């Protein structure tokens, strides 16, 4: 992978950008399509994660390697558990073998799944022997990645008794769980989510259905950051809708604090910098429901000279990299005063931004994209820039319009 130099850009920030479908929605729908083959999907994500999911679902061999794709690993663990008569080894990259999956395996085992660890208990690679799961009741700690929960919910309607999933403790990333339930509802599956209990009813078949995937809100965050750091930026993004299933659509509200107005048009959103906007000295956000936009917000605050306190970030420790430590390392190189804990980030207002700094990306697509908008403030280098293909393969092609 190559290092990409982003020269300081002082031109107008005005463009129209079309963003690929959400990989979060796409990967959920691809699993559901396995259960309901008469489901047709439009505007599917062209991300590495979705391409890996497609490849894995088509794999008829004895081993499936999903690389860095955490969503694919978690969703396939449940799906493969239901494939009666199959015997598959599910593995991934070195980093994937460090990411815990024991909570999901334990929950599936209570439903009767036959899953064993090949190397280290609680981690991939897994040997999964498909069997008929009846469904029923399962308990899971609420304070874990929502992908574990969604993994179980996606197979729930295919089980004879459906699923009653009870949470223990506070629930993390509720919007991603609601996204999964929303997609199930679109297919006519009956669900309920009250208090600590989710119920999903069984449904053997659905009517012929076509679903168009909404574009990815996480990917939109980098353009929100650009407009925020600009003097009078204006960017139109497609395809988006006001009633979104994606938790990261909270961007429209959060970025008001940075002077960005969002106007919902027909299938598009228009981002505009508010004329005469005065930067706040400090902002504080609890991102427990939208942790994937934390990197973007931290970099926005740094670029605008705003101090910030961000909380609700404990799931960032087990992403493609430890995102909190990565942010601390790279922002410090740029001149930031920053501290992190296991679930919070604290940034002091920047006095000066260092130039020609080379940003390490840690095999994490969001690190590369979150730092890119700083080209409005200084010249910056992005190491292993190709990593963006994980979620947004055409990012640099689109971003070249601002260089």
Boundaries of domain holding 235: 4-20+215-402
Same domain, 321 and 385: yes
Residue 240 sits in a domain of what CATH number? 3.65.10.10
Catalytic residue among 48, 292, 322, 398: 292
Same domain, 42 and 143: yes
Each residue of 143-162: pLDDT tens digit?
Answer: 888 899 999 999 999 999 99
What is the C-alpha to C-alpha distance for residues 38 and 30, in angstroms, rounded to an integer?
12
> Domain ends where: 171, 189, 212?
212
Same domain, 234 and 381: yes
| Per-residue pLDDT band at 315 (split at 50, 70, 90) | confident
pLDDT score of 175: 86
Residue by residue, DSSP assigns 199-268 as: EE---S----EEEEPPBPHHHHHHHHHHHHHSSS-EEEEES--SS-S-GGGGHHHHGGGGTEEEEE-SSE
How many domains, the chain?
2
Same domain, 107 and 246: no
Each residue of 215-270: pLDDT tens digit?
Answer: 999 999 999 999 999 999 999 999 898 989 898 999 999 999 999 999 999 889 99
What is the C-alpha to C-alpha distance for residues 318 and 245, in angstroms, rounded to an integer?
24
Same domain, 390 and 246: yes
- Cα dihedral 108, 111, 114, 117, rounded to 10, equals 30
Q: Residues of 44-69 as b/e, b for ≥16 C-beta within 10 angstroms?
A: bbbbbbbbbbbebbeeeeeebbbbbb
What is the C-alpha to C-alpha distance for residues 117 and 130, in angstroms, rounded to an integer?
15
Q: Contact 169/142 with Cβ under 8 angstroms?
A: yes
Quick one: average pLDDT of 30-51? Answer: 94
Strand partners, 89: 63, 127
Same domain, 206 and 321: no
| Angle between the N-to-C axes of helices 70-81 and 146-155, in degrees from 0 to 180, rounded to the nearest 10 | 30
Same domain, 225 and 196: no
Each residue of 278-295: pLDDT tens digit?
Answer: 999 999 999 988 888 999
User: How far is CA 206 from each of CA 77, 78, 133, 157, 290, rounded to the nearest angstrom?
Assistant: 24, 21, 20, 11, 31
What is the C-alpha to C-alpha distance for residues 61 and 91, in angstroms, rounded to an integer?
13
Same domain, 230 and 368: yes
Same domain, 186 and 331: no
Same domain, 331 and 230: yes
> Domain ends where: 212, 231, 251?
212
Residue 93, class by beta-carbon neighbours within 10 Å (0-12 exposed, 13-18 middle, 19+ buried)? middle
> Domain ends where: 212, 242, 257?
212
Q: Contact 201/194 with Cβ under 8 angstroms?
A: no
Same domain, 144 and 157: yes
CA-based R_g, the chain, Å = 21
Same domain, 54 and 190: yes
The 10 Å Cβ neighbour count of residue 299 is 28
pLDDT score of 143: 82
Annotation says 292 is catalytic: yes
């Amino acid at each position: 992978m190559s290092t990409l130099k982003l020269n300081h850009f002082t031109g107008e920030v005005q463009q129209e950008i079309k963003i690929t479908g959400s990989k979060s929605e796409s990967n959920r729908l691809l699993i559901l399509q396995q259960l309901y083959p008469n489901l047709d999907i439009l505007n599917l994500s062209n991300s590495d994660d979705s391409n890996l999911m497609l490849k894995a679902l088509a794999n008829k061999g004895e081993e499936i390697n999903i690389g860095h794709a955490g969503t694919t690993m978690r969703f396939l663990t449940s799906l493969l558990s239901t494939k009666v008569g199959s015997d598959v080894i599910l593995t991934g990259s070195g980093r994937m073998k460090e990411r815990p999956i024991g909570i999901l395996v334990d929950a599936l085992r209570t439903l009767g799944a036959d899953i064993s660890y090949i190397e280290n208990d609680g981690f991939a690679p897994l040997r999964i022997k498909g069997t008929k799961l009846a469904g029923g009741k399962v308990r899971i700690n609420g304070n874990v990645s929502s992908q574990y929960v969604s993994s179980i919910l996606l197979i729930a309607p295919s089980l004879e008794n459906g699923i009653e999933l009870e949470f223990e403790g506070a629930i993390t990333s509720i919007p991603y769980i609601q996204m999964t339930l929303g997609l199930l509802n679109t297919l006519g599956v009956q669900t309920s989510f009250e208090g600590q209990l989710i119920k999903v009813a069984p449904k053997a078949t659905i009517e012929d259905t076509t679903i168009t995937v909404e574009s990815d809100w996480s990917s939109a965050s980098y353009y929100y950051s650009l407009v925020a750091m600009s003097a009078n930026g204006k960017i139109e993004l497609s395809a988006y809708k006001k009633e979104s299933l994606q938790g990261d659509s909270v961007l429209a509200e959060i970025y008001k604090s940075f002077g960005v107005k969002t106007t919902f048009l027909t299938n598009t959103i228009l981002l505009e910098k508010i004329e005469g906007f005065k930067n706040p000295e400090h902002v504080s956000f609890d991102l427990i429901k939208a942790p994937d936009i934390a990197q973007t917000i931290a970099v926005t605050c740094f670029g605008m000279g705003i101090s910030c306190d961000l909380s609700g970030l404990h799931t960032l420790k087990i992403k493609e990299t430890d995102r909190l430590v990565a942010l601390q390392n790279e922002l410090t190189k740029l001149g930031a005063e920053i501290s992190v804990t296991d679930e919070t980030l604290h940034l002091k207002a920047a006095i000066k931004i260092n130039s020609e700094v080379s940003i390490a990306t840690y095999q994490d697509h969001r690190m590369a994209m979150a730092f890119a908008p700083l080209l409005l403030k200084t010249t910056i280098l992005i190491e292993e820039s190709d990593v963006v293909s994980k979620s947004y393969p055409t990012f640099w092609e689109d971003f070249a319009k601002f260089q």
